[in-house]
Amino acid sequence: MATITAPIFLLLHLLLLLSLRPFLPIATATATTTTTTATTSSGPQSPYLSPTTLFQNYQNMRTNFMIFIYNPSKSFTFQNPAASLFYSSLLKSPFLTQDPNEAHLFFVRFSPDMSKRSLARLVRDLRINHPYWNRTLGADHFFVSPAGIDYSSDRNVLELKKNSVQISVFPVTSGNFIPHKDITLPPLNPSALVISAAPENASTTTFLGYLKWDGKTELNLVEELKKDGDFLIATERESLYHVGNVKNSKFCLLFYSGDVAWMVEAMALGCVPVVIVDRPIQDLPLMDVLRWSDLGLLVAARGGAKRLKEVLNDVSEEKYSGMRGMASAASKHLVWNEEPQPLDAFHMVIYQLWLRRHTIRYARREY
């Protein structure tokens, strides 16, 4: 007897091999797990969680991965730039198959504006009209929902949420993301599609921290930071100076609930990302590929500007240079291209789907 939750547990069991840990913010002196994990060995550090298997596994994906797409009931578009580019890239990618029997995963597509009722009907129709849903109760299915979907009392929507792999845009509203199963798309900053500048030397930086501020988030903290000459705060209107400022800063501060679209650009320019958030987060893009805990920092806002500055100043030069190298190397995988390139954001999201293809199919399936 299969229950609604069975496939997700099976999937989780397999994904435990990846031994993912949540990324915890540094709030107090006791919560320093993220600062102590960096190795002190010499030589360039790897930004990857599994450097020895990643590239071979990626090649296997390039050659073997097959995705079957259900037809949408109506045509639709995604307003979000990353979701839109992911979707159009997938539709013209070599990963699609017309033959559901050779598919590893099934793509359920629907408009981001679809009501819960229509979504419930759509899943119910898949369940009744195709044999694939019942085999895993949706665990070998995935969907794109930029905002993520919420819990629902409807059995169909609940199965989709709990069992199928959700692809949404980073950051995702808490509750709309299931760690280890769901995936986020790296943010797409339309003005930064091409990043070619190499990071300059860290010693040339003028500011400890640079913040591109939306004028709303964490007012108190920002007021404190503004009074400190080590920090540079740029509001939207000053974004003309953006690239120069980023290059001149050691750390780039991002509010998790604010504007994160420039994170990848900052990393590419050699600015180490510092995400300011008061709770652990598990929805960073490429969470099961990149060693986020070593290439960036998570700092709690509640510690105030003083604590933030302490955390940044506590990073040794040696550690900083490792973080910077890793952040810059990692940024290549977070960049979107109009025409997907090897190992770019599109392919790495596909790779994360590939990592999630091992599900147990219940009936009528010979391997």
Ligand X SMILES: *[C@@H]1O[C@H](CO)[C@@H](O)[C@H](O)[C@H]1NC(C)=O
Query: Where do contacts with ligand X occur on this chain (CB under 6 A)?
Result: 127-128, 131, 134, 200-201, 204
Place of tokens 């604010």: 258
User: Please, which residue, 10 or 343, has the CB nearer to ligand X?
Assistant: 10
User: Please, which residue, 21 or 155, has the CB nearer to ligand X?
Assistant: 155
Instruction: Quote the least distance from Cβ 39 to ligand X, whole Å.
Output: 21
Instruction: Quote the least distance from Cβ 138 to ligand X, whole Å.
Output: 11
- C-alpha–C-alpha distance, residues 318 and 108, integer Å: 47
- C-alpha–C-alpha distance, residues 336 and 265, integer Å: 11
Full 3-state SS string of 268-293: HCCCEEEEECCCCECCCCCCCCECHH
Instruction: Quote the least distance from Cβ 352 to ligand X, whole Å.
Output: 28
Q: Which residues contact 48 (CB under 8 A, 6 or more apart)?
A: 54, 289, 290, 291
Is 187 strand, coil or helix?
coil
User: Please, which residue, 93 or 321, has the CB nearer to ligand X?
Assistant: 321
- C-alpha–C-alpha distance, residues 218 and 108, integer Å: 38
- C-alpha–C-alpha distance, residues 337 and 65, integer Å: 21
- C-alpha–C-alpha distance, residues 51 and 277, integer Å: 28
Q: Which residues contact 147 (CB under 8 A, 6 or more apart)?
A: 112, 168, 169, 172, 173, 176
User: Please, which residue, 198 or 240, has the CB nearer to ligand X?
Assistant: 198
- C-alpha–C-alpha distance, residues 251 and 315, integer Å: 11
Instruction: Quote the least distance from Cβ 200 to ligand X, whole Å.
Output: 5
Q: What are phi and psi of 97, to 5 degrees?
A: -135, 150
Instruction: Quote the least distance from Cβ 213 to ligand X, whole Å.
Output: 28
Instruction: Quote the least distance from Cβ 155 to ligand X, whole Å.
Output: 9
User: Please, which residue, 212 or 247, has the CB nearer to ligand X?
Assistant: 247
User: Please, which residue, 131 or 175, has the CB nearer to ligand X?
Assistant: 131
